A and B are shown apart, each in its own frame.
Chain A
C-alpha cells in the first residue's frame, strides 16, 4: 500500500475490505488529529482568566491535550478536541473553571 492509511479522503467515507491494511493497522501517524472529537462535547469549560493562577493542572490532566501550556502560561482550550469531560474543572485548585451547556453556543 503506497498511501498511508487512512488518507483524509478515506476518513470521510467507509472503505471496503480490499482497501484497508491488514489487521486494522493504521499506517499514518497522528491520523487521530483529523478526527475532531470536540463535536462530542455536551458541556464546555469556561475559564475565569482573573482567577487562573497558571498552575498548569488543567493542561497536565487533560486527556486530549486540548489545553496548551507553554512558558508558564496556559493558552486557550482547543475546542476542536476538547470533549467536555471537565476533568480540568475538577482539578482546578482555585475553582477558576465552570461549565456551560454546549447548546448555548450553537444558537
Chain B
C-alpha cells in the first residue's frame, strides 16, 4: 500500500536530513563542509531536540568522520555521514577501508569542485575521483530523488549479498540549496521499509570473538578483493529489487536510468543529476519544433549498468554525453562508460563528449540546444567539446 505523504518545501539538503531523521541511524559522525553542511546541521538539531536517539560524533576532520563510521558499522551499528569536495578527498584513505571492510555506510555527497583553484560550487570531480573505490554511487536530479535515494541506498547497502557503502550524490548548491516541493512519506511506512540492520558479524560478541581488518598480503588480499567485485556485480540486480520494494511505498520507479522521449530519437544526450532537468526542458522545446531528440538520465553510476545503457541507446543515431568533470588526460568518466557500453553493438551510434559546468558554471538551455544542434547534424569528433567555456 502506498504511504501517505505531506508536501513540504525543502532544499535537497533538508530533504536528506529528513530522510536521516526517519532512518534515525545509530551513529552519525560528520564534519561540516559547504555545501553539505546544512544536512548535518539540520540533523544535529534533531539530535539536540531529542527527535532521534542517534549518537552524534562531532569529529575534527572527515578522515575521522569516516573512521568513526567504520568503527560503528563494524560493531553492527547503522552509521551515516555526509560530505563533499575537499572533505571527500580527506576521507580518501578510509573510503577504501569502509568498502574493504564491507561497511554498509550511506553517505550523501553534495557534489562540489575540488581545489585548486578553491571553489565551493558544483561539479562532479569529487565523487568521480572516488568511482573506483568500491562505493556504490547514485546520482540525483532533484530534492525528491535525493530524499528517496537515501532509503534505496540503505536497503541496497545492507543487503547480505552487497554489504558495501553507498554515496548518494546531489549537485552542490544547484540542488542542495534549491527549495522544492518534496513529498515526505509518513514515518511508519519508511521505518517498515528500512527495517533493522542485520550485521553478518558481531564484533562485540565476547563469547564468539572475531578479528576484523587483519593484514592480508600476497596470500589472501586478491581473494578478498574478488569478493568485493562480486558484491558490486550483485548490487546491479539488488538495486532493482530494492527499487521495486520502495515503489510499493512511494509509487515511484527506480530504474538504472530514466529515458525521456527516447523512443524514436535520432540525437540523444546522456547526463546525470541536475543537468537532466535543463536537458528535459530543451528536449520538450525541440520536440515541439519537430526535432527527434531525447535524454537518457543515468541514476546509477557504480556499479555501471552497461547492458541497460546499451539497450536504451541502441536505436540512437548520435549520442552526446555531458560530463560535469574531467578525467584529465583521458575521456571524461561518463563518456568513457557510455563508449564502453556501445562496443558490442554491430552498428554503433556516433558519439560526442561534452564537458560542462565545472566549478558551478551554469549549464544554460542554449548550451544544451547547441549540443543537440551539433548532434542532429551528425558532426561528431573524437575531441572533447566544452559547453559554456570561453
Contacts and interface: CB of A to CB of B under 8 A. Distances in A.
Given A27-B201, A29-B208, A29-B210, A22 B223 contact: no
Interface string B205-224: 00011111110100111111
Nearest to B230: A17
A24 interface: yes
Contact of B209 (A17, A22, A29): A29
Given A14-B219, A20-B220, A26 B211 contact: yes
Interface in B204-258: 208-214, 216, 219-224, 226-227, 230
A17 B226 contact: yes
A72 interface: no
Given A17-B223, A17-B224, A27-B201, A22 B208 contact: no
Interface string B74-116: 0000000000000000000000000011100000000000000
Interface residues of B, number: 23
Given A14-B219, A20-B220, A25 B226 contact: no
Contacts of B224: 17, 20, 23-24
B223 A25 contact: no
A96 B313 CA distance: 80
B163 interface: yes
A21 B212 CA distance: 10
A15 interface: yes
Interface in A5-35: 14-17, 20-27, 29
Nearest to B220: A24
A14 B219 CA distance: 7
Nearest to A15: B223
B210 A20 contact: no
B201 A25 contact: yes
A15 B220 CA distance: 8
A87 B211 CA distance: 27
A23 B223 contact: no
A20 B223 CA distance: 8
A21 B100 CA distance: 12
B200 interface: yes
A60 B208 CA distance: 27
A23 B224 CA distance: 6
Contacts of A22: 102, 163, 200-201, 227
Contacts of A20: 220, 223-224, 227
B210 A25 contact: yes
A23 B212 contact: yes
A25 B212 contact: yes
Contacts of A17: 222-224, 226-227, 230
Contacts of B213: 23-24
Contacts of B208: 27, 29
Interface string A40-74: 00000000000000000000000000000000000
A26 B219 contact: no
Interface string B32-66: 00000000000000000000000000000000000
A26 B203 CA distance: 11
B268 to A, nearest CB: 39
A14 B227 CA distance: 16
Contacts of A21: 201
The 9 closest A-B pairs by CB, nearest first: A17-B223, A26-B211, A17-B226, A29-B209, A23-B102, A24-B224, A23-B101, A22-B102, A24-B216
Given A22-B201, A24-B216, A26-B214, 17 more contacts: A14-B219, A15-B220, A15-B223, A17-B223, A17-B224, A20-B223, A21-B201, A23-B101, A23-B102, A23-B212, A24-B220, A24-B221, A26-B210, A27-B210, A29-B208, A29-B209, A29-B210
23 contacts: A14-B220, A15-B220, A16-B223, A17-B222, A17-B223, A17-B226, A20-B220, A20-B224, A20-B227, A22-B227, A23-B101, A23-B213, A24-B213, A24-B214, A24-B216, A24-B220, A24-B224, A25-B210, A25-B211, A26-B210, A27-B201, A27-B208, A27-B210
